[in-house]
Amino acid sequence: METAFAAVIVAAGRGLRAGGGEPKQYRPLAGRPVLRHALDRMLARRDLCALVVVIHPEDAGRCAAALGGIDDPRLRPPVAGGATRAESVRAGLAALADLDPATAVLIHDAARPFVPDAVIDGVLRGLESADGALPVLPVVDALWRGDSLADQPLSRDGLWRAQTPQGFRLGAIRAAHAAHAGPADDDAVVARTAGLRVALTPGAEENFKITAPGDFARAARIVEAALETRTGQGFDVHRFGPGDHVMLGGIAVPHDRGVVAHSDGDVVLHALTDAVLGALAEGDIGRWFPPSDPRWRGAASDRFLAHAVRRVAERGGRILHADLTVLCERPRIGPHAAAMRARIADILGVDARRVSVKATTTEGLGFTGRGEGIAAIATATVALPADR
């Protein structure tokens, strides 16, 4: 039977050593802030009962953007941290004061976005026999003391690299923090100073802390390795009506007819929007932008496709390729294909070489062959985390 635990994610630091001009926990990683990756790992646990994020007082807007779209009653409002990590942890623990003091609480760094379930499970098991649990990795490299020259080697025996989340009983760690004076590198130091027994549990190499600029490249490789490829298809059709042009792929193509549609009737972008949403298994364009809603009357279809692209990014994915075929006798598509490719690539946020635009007739058959309307078929290929 699962034992419920609470979590505090500490995101109150400035984290500017990692570069990028803003706190590292809010820098994008595969389309989502680093903090969101860490948060989603915890929220994916069925045994989580409550979670609070501790932020810098100036980061309320950044945090709101990072947490956008989460509808989970276990996520509590963020709280402001203090000048030191210990002060920030105390603020997070205070936000959980309504829980049973015996509740297990895991304190985790926002800059560790890839904590595996096995590490969390190990920490929770460690709390069955000790007051606290600290995930660690062995020191495998030779250790030397020195400045610019090697002075003397140091023994690696009994040395460990500490990670988070570090686990404790809520009441015990709150009391330990209340009694602790001065700085502390982590919560295990606070616990040991208070006389609590802290078990060593297995850490994981992928559970590293983003600290330096190069760590983002390492993190990106981990995200890339966890992606799977998905494909979606889309189809759209509109009949011709009065007008002097048709919108195709975000480009106004001169024609002696227009199209009858609720929006601007861009069959190419409509089909591609459905293809992207299909790869996400998130329904179709009508679900997100119902034609019964007057807000979308005459709307530019690039808004619909941009929404689908944002959904890909919000789920930690990226668009790999788009293939489009326009079915019509007229207008001629060839003279406009390059401009359409460029516009679609701009909306998708990809190189134009990842966008294909083709056209075909139906040899005079059907409604397109009779010149009654125009249609488009789209295929979108998306890379997405396997668990999303």
Give, for all 388 residues of the chain, the pLDDT tens digit.
Answer: 467 999 999 999 876 665 567 889 999 887 789 999 999 999 999 999 999 999 999 999 999 999 987 889 999 999 999 989 999 999 999 999 999 999 999 999 999 999 999 999 999 999 999 999 999 999 999 999 998 899 999 999 989 999 999 999 999 999 999 999 888 889 999 999 999 999 999 999 999 999 888 888 888 888 777 789 999 999 999 999 999 999 999 999 999 999 998 899 999 999 999 999 999 999 999 999 988 888 888 899 999 999 999 999 878 788 999 999 999 999 999 999 999 999 999 999 999 999 999 999 999 999 999 999 999 999 999 998 876 5
Q: Are residues 31 and 49 in the same domain?
A: yes
Amino acid (one-letter) located at 257: R
Give the Cα separation of 286 and 31 in Å (integer).
Answer: 25
Q: Which residues of 298-327 are buried (b: 16+ CB within 10 A; e: fewer)?
A: eeebbebbbebbebbeebbbbbbbbbbbbb
Q: Are residues 306 and 368 in the same domain?
A: yes
**pTM of the prediction?**
0.71
Q: Are residues 141 and 240 in the same domain?
A: no
Q: Are residues 70 and 91 in the same domain?
A: yes
First to last CA, the chain: 26
Decide which of 225, 247, 274 is a domain's last residue: 225
Q: Are residues 220 and 267 in the same domain?
A: no
Total domains in the chain come to 2
Best CA proximity match to 378, nearest among 351, 344, 347: 344
Return the CATH number at 329: 3.30.1330.50
Decide which of 225, 253, 286 is a domain's last residue: 225
Q: Are residues 201 and 277 in the same domain?
A: no
Return the CATH number at 138: 3.90.550.10
The Cα-based distances of 207 to 123, 191, 222 in angstroms read 13, 22, 11
Decide which of 204, 225, 246 is a domain's last residue: 225
